[in-house]
Amino acid sequence: MLGYTLAQVGAYVAFVPLFNIVLPLQAEQLAPGQGALLLSQVALWGALAAGATNFLAGLLSDRASGRWGRRRPWIVGGALATAGACLIILIAPGPSSLLAAVVLFQVALNTMFGPLNAVLPDRVPDRQKGLVSAMIGLGFPLATLFAALIVAVVLSDQSTRFLVIAIAVVVLILPFGLSLREPVREHGSQATNLSFGALRDSDFLMAFVSRLLVQVAITLNVLYLLFYLQQQTDVEIRFPHLRTEAVLGWLMAGATVASLIVGFVGGLLSDRFARRKVFVVAGALMMSGGALLMIVAPSWPGPLVAQLIFGAGLGLYSTVDVALVAQVLPCRDSAGRDLGIMNLAITLPQVGAPLLGLTLISLSSQAMPWIFAAAAGSALTGGIAVAHIRRIR
């Protein structure tokens, strides 16, 4: 469980600091004055590559057999490729090459991430899914804390930031990948087919819709928080001695602490009471409230309070939703494929959210309030969707 938790942390360390801090700065450096536009384009094409790769890697790992197991080769190879792709992004000389490098990074990351996520339904019984989800749910907030305190505050050189991220990915993921022992696949078990049939299951579909809508809110917050701080708030006046990305780092750190505490407790309580939906809905509502507060209270400490609420809701939703999704999978033998389908609820918003951002930016010179209004509405609707799941309490 500890090794799996560290591997999940490593997977999130690969992309959270990249998309929150390093990539926005890289985009602004390569396209001065057009950083938000370039970031939206890069995120869009990267998300398309991520969704396709995650689905195919999960499907192929379902079908794999042999002495190395189903999941392990993909986890190990993908981790090494992800570290290498980080360094390729660093040396990208222009906007087009940055886009190509991010697409390569997403292919490498999701080659590893899809099979890694499939280990949960493979190995963990239902009665412990909340506990294990609480443990691996530490991945996102700890990666955010790493991004906030190390990448944003301690490190100031872009090259060093990329190198540290690449090393962290290898150190955190490889020990679990190399030591993973998988049960021998039963003789005669059917190979997983290329199919989206899991979406015909109504509970799986509602979980998919909920995750997709909530992920739109999360993606908008991740992509545009730095620009929101620069354009809508008074943080540069309040904190003239700090870089804006350093203020962002401290906001992320506070939100991460809230996410860690609320998410971990929520995962344990969902096991204790054998209930998932109420925690998932509550998390979505908290994210919606945090996004709304970003609009109505842009002056400090409004952004701090808003991000604390948003972070707490994110921790609660994401932790318990992992356990919920693992329980609504239609078939355990096709867990990699079906989790790849569910992962589209994460990657499709990485296409849709930048498109929405591009549209709002093109329509208004003051687009940030509209972007966070869209985030609030999306999170609220996602919470309503999960309430329609019937098979899980």
- Which CATH number fits the domain that encloses residue 126? 1.20.1250.20
Q: Which two tokens stand for residue 270?
A: 């969902």
Q: Which two tokens stand for residue 159?
A: 């090259």
Question: How many domains would you assign to the chain?
Answer: 1
Flag whether 186 is in a domain.
no
Q: Which two tokens stand for residue 18?
A: 């990249």
Dihedral angle at the C-alpha atoms of 168, 170, 174, 177, nearest 10 degrees?
90
Flag whether 190 is in a domain.
no
Give the domain extent around 240: 2-180+198-386
Tell me the mean pLDDT in the region 145-152: 79
**pLDDT for residue 360 is more than 60:** yes
Which pLDDT does position 387 carry in this prediction? 86
Please state, rounded to an integer, the average pLDDT across all residues of the chain: 83
Tell me the mean pLDDT in the region 105-132: 83
When pLDDT is cut at 50, 70 and 90, the band that residue 187 belongs to is very low
What does the alpha-carbon distance between residue 144 and residue 183 come to, in Å, rounded to a whole number? 33
Flag whether 302 is in a domain.
yes
Flag whether 187 is in a domain.
no
Tell me the mean pLDDT in the region 310-335: 83
Flag whether 328 is in a domain.
yes
Q: What are phi and psi of 348, to 5 degrees?
A: -60, -40
Flag whether 193 is in a domain.
no
- The predicted model scores a pTM of 0.73
